[in-house]
Amino acid sequence: MQLPDNPSVPGSTPASSPASGAPASTAPAPAARARADAANTPARPLRLLLVEDAPTDAELLLSRLRRLGYRVDSRRVWTEEAFSEALAGFAPELIVSDHSMPTFDGMRALGLARAVLPGVPFIFVSGTIDAARSAAARAAGAAECLSKDNLAMLGAVLEQALGIGKDTGQE
């Protein structure tokens, strides 16, 4: 899967990819159960606007989402111009953003998203966000802030942000 190298053009990724993982005998029981559940459950479609300047970090996040059972239709951007265009034309149901990028600021992205699409959840996934910046981001409207180094809570954060399980009897 190739992500474009031209920052003036929003990136995108294919909408489907098979979930994979290590055999259950080599994985901890909860992880093996989660993979089995994902394999037996139809993939949930997810329209994701990803604000990320590093192609490798973007692919790692998309891979994690697929392993969590999402069929991701994404657009990757890393400039304010491309982000504004994607807000207007892509109709994401979730926005995930890095906090610190050389050409675009994650807090600026959050402000633009709140102004244009106030009902769309916005999650920071960053390697540079500390507790004070995380609190400021939440106060400005971010649903959550996660470290790129520890995405163990990503599934639970997405479920909460997207309202999965509400009024359906699911946990």
Residue 104: φ, ψ to 5°: -160, 140
pLDDT digits 0-9 by tens, 57-107: 999 999 999 999 999 999 999 999 999 999 999 999 999 999 989 989 999
pLDDT of residue 25: 38
User: Does 124 score more than 50 pLDDT?
Assistant: yes
pLDDT of residue 35: 53
Give the chain's domains with CATH numbers.
29-158 (3.40.50.2300)
Mean pLDDT of the chain: 79
- CA–CA gap between residue 131 and residue 68 (Å, rounded): 26
Alpha helices in 24-146 (DSSP H): 29-40, 55-67, 80-89, 106-116, 131-139
User: Does 4 score more than 60 pLDDT?
Assistant: no
Q: Is the pLDDT higher at 70 or at 166?
A: 70
Q: What are the residues whose beta carbons fall under 8 Å from the beta carbon of 11, sequence distance 6 or more?
A: 3, 4, 50, 55, 58, 75, 76, 77
pLDDT of residue 12: 40
pLDDT of residue 64: 94
Q: What six digits make up the tokens of 44?
A: 């949930």
pLDDT of residue 128: 80
Mean pLDDT of the region 29-56: 74
User: Does 13 score more than 50 pLDDT?
Assistant: no
User: Does 21 score more than 50 pLDDT?
Assistant: no
Q: Is the pLDDT higher at 130 or at 137?
A: 137
pLDDT of residue 127: 86
Angle separating helix axes 55-67 and 154-162, nearest 10 degrees: 80
pTM: predicted TM-score of the whole model, two decimal places:
0.74
If residue 96 lies in a helix (H) or strand (E), which one and from where to where? strand 94-97
Buried residues in 43-68 as b, exposed as e (16+ CB within 10 A) = beebebbbbbbebebbbebbeebbbb
Q: Is the pLDDT higher at 2 or at 53?
A: 53
Mean pLDDT of the region 126-138: 89
